[in-house]
């Protein structure tokens, strides 16, 4: 993660659809993600996100901070930033939605192993 005074560059590497389901916000205009980070930013601050999701090339996405989860938040939630995408990436968004739709159709697996 690189940081300067004016903009923040965050990197989010999502390893699989299960992890994507945890961080992706499809209910936000243009989509968005939660990025666990100790970086401190104000609401509406601009950020640049290098986002890598499965089966898709790393994509640079412009965004803005729409919520902040502070360090020590209740329920053991990690500190981080909710980032709304401000640049349109319809192909990326379609790919994410397809990954999540396929994940939602998978049967629940119960395992008694580690």
**CATH number of domain containing 13:** 2.40.10.220
Band the pLDDT of 15: cuts 50, 70, 90. Answer: very high
Report the sign of the C-alpha dihedral through residues 84, 50, 16, 40, in that order: negative
Is the entire prediction scored with pTM above 0.75?
Answer: yes
User: What's residue 103's pLDDT?
Assistant: 86
pLDDT score of 4: 44
Range of the domain at 12: 2-102
3-state secondary structure of 111: coil
What is the mean predicted confidence (pLDDT) over 86-109? 85
Sign of CA dihedral 25, 28, 33, 35: negative
Burial of 24 (0-12, 13-18, 19+ CB in 10 A): buried
Instruction: Say what the pLDDT of residue 83 is.
Output: 96
Provide mean pLDDT across the span 6-18: 91
Cα(56)–Cα(24) distance, integer angstroms = 15
Other Cβ atoms closer than 10 A to 81: 26
pLDDT in tens, 19-28: 999 999 988 9
Domain count, the chain: 1
């Amino acid at each position: 993660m690189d940081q300067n005074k004016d903009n923040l560059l965050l990197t989010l590497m999502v390893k699989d659809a299960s992890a994507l389901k945890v961080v992706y916000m499809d209910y936000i205009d243009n989509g968005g993600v939660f990025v666990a980070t100790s970086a401190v930013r104000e609401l509406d601050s601009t950020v640049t996100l290098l986002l890598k999701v499965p089966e898709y090339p790393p994509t640079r996405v412009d965004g803005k901070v729409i919520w902040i989860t502070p360090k020590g938040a209740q329920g053991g939630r990690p500190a981080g930033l909710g980032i709304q995408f401000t640049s349109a990436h319809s192909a990326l968004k379609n790919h994410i939605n397809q990954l999540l739709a396929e994940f939602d159709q998978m049967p629940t697996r119960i395992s008694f192993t580690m």
